[in-house]
Amino acid sequence: MTQADANKYKALLTAKRAEIMSKSGRREGLWIVQSNEQIEAVQLAGQREFAALALERESESLMQVRAALKRIDDGQFGICVDCEEPISAKRLAAVPWAAYCLNCQELHDDRGMIGTFGPKLAA
């Protein structure tokens, strides 16, 4: 990967990080509001659950973006963290924070390891 490519991805990832961080400040959906009406209480609980899941997704995305920025700084960006093969330019164009090549990502998805990234250490 050329330095120009790395700079392009760094700019994309920095913008994505800023976008995620601007959204994460909205935690008011998690506030617990009491209601005497049972239906309203159930609706509020559902809204809190939805807000918590959205916050969790944003946090996971932020971690992935930060990890990708670190890989750029370390000179490891565009290299699969499992098999150490290059990640295709097409995949990086679609998912700039991708830590795995497509084959390794599919293996992780099959194993239910979505959301975890980084090399696995042998015990």
- For the entire predicted model, the pTM comes to 0.70
Distance CA 30, CA 92 (A): 34
Instruction: Write the CB contacts of 6 (distance below 8 Å, at least 6 apart in sequence).
Output: 72, 77
Give the residue among 16, 52, 48 at the shortest CA–CA distance from 35: 48
Whether 78 and 4 have beta carbons less than 8 Å apart is answered as: no
Q: What angle do CA 4, 87, 2 make, to 5 degrees?
A: 15
User: pLDDT tens digits, residue range 24-51?
Assistant: 655 555 555 566 677 777 777 777 787 7
What are 91's two structure tokens?
Answer: 């995949």
